[in-house]
Structure 1
């Protein structure tokens, strides 16, 4: 009984804020408003598609992506920490509240899964699910979960359903960044992982995660 009461006391403070956020209509991780974000997303859909469901494999799907991750990426584009001329120009005009609202809006949209290539599975499935201890490669699933949903609270992005072309491009960019020196936070983690991947492994993983759902 004492253990049960302790569990209730420990868990109660964590659940109350979520109830309050649900009532307020605010995103639990950014405090942004999805409703306000919908009104600000017109420019975004030109590249990222209606409701963030991009049909162009060069541009990432934003629908269903974690709000904290989206918010952090917009901040990085605005600060020049993440390089992309088009996104830098878009983010430059956004206020902090704009970024919070846009993140909340896209996170609230349903994601559209893709299809993995059958030839990618033998190479990618083991790497994704178990990693490669001999090379110091952690399993992708450890941070991004077995279904690729990511961990919204930690800012670990959803991978499942993401365009293979875009995913491969990002892994190659992380690999290139690893050669430039130490990076902090999640970008540093990804750079260290991507540095150990071959071109063939990158292409296989990118296709595999496209089919995760």
Structure 2
């Protein structure tokens, strides 16, 4: 199975072509996308990615796309483009919450609190149960920084945002700072949903 993963939820984004075979996955390629120009870059970059791997649009078995939280405009561009491609090609789509991808990238099994900087002193959080690379969201919330600190005292926090990690450390909380999940992680989590 071949899945195209797309993430346009943040300042920067990306696309990835991931192949799944006999329980294993292999990232064929990850392509970064600069933020602010997703609408101009996304479709041409997908086309170039497929050409480099000699893959036709019809050879894609499914699509996985980051569904937020994140930039409204970026999310709209990614979701609309993938929805259009999937409808034309009659292929399934998996919407993957970014907080699920954050938790799934942690390598921690059990309950974690995935956190993303929402700006303006607020934090997007989700209680997530993780097992291996699988992640199941229990709830998502938008909290003030103070609410985040109060809620987080009993959780293992996972975040790709240095600002959130520093806030947690200042308050003596357990935090794992990770790299922001790429479109390949979105594709892998999408595979679990399809």
TM-score w.r.t. structure 1 length? 0.23
Larger strand fraction of residues: 2
Larger helix fraction of residues: 1
TM-score w.r.t. structure 2 length? 0.24
